[in-house]
Structure 1
Amino acid sequence: MNTKQMLMVSTVAITLSMGGTTWNDAVQASSIENTQTTTPIKEDLLQVLGVSSEEDIYKAQYEGQSLAEMARANHVDVQKVIALQLAELTELLNERLYSGSISPEQYQAQCAELPEIIIKSVYAM
């Protein structure tokens, strides 16, 4: 995995693990009601990318391939990869919001950043 890819993956992991502690500024957001509509994510990354194991993903990324390149190589719409990751990370943020580990303001700020972070990660930008 090249330095840029490692940095992007690390950034996503750190962002999610920090619990939004860096977003302490007030955010203008509407109140959030507990309308959690959890639906199981029907596909995982292996299925969407069309690969057989996590090791395949690791090897491809180690050789410099992005998730987008893996998807295209397997005739998969890159948007499916983005949508899956967005759904998974949004679900994680929902769980953190409803457990009280992040505030509604932190939730809104992190949700707003997710699409850009995921796109950069998928395309290894």
Structure 2
Amino acid sequence: MAMDQELSISQIQELESDLHQLKLDLEGLLDTTESGAKPVTLRDNTGRLSRMDEMHNQSILVANRNLTRNRLKQVLIALTRADKDTYGRCTTCDEPISYPRLKAYPEADMCLDCKGEIERG
């Protein structure tokens, strides 16, 4: 794997701050979308097409909430790695993950080389 430079202490602190902010943002997003995830009632005064639209919109909302929940789990795992001083290292090859990758995707747990290998199969 390509050897990326080790993260500095200030970079790690900045990224941990990014993770904490991302955690708050994701939790807030889940809170604000909770009411829209409730089942669509079929006994209301709207027409059939309106109910179908509501059901479609709800299915999109539920899918987005699932993606948000999964990302929040990844953020929490990254924060746990930060507590154990393993944050910023690839969980596959144990090489440093590049700062630009972590800045763009702070919960990343793999370097680009390993992630690419897994995605290619």
Query: Structure 1 length as normaliser, TM-score?
Result: 0.35
Query: Structure 2 length as normaliser, TM-score?
Result: 0.36
- Greater RCO, 1 or 2 (C-alpha within 8 Å, sep 6+): 1
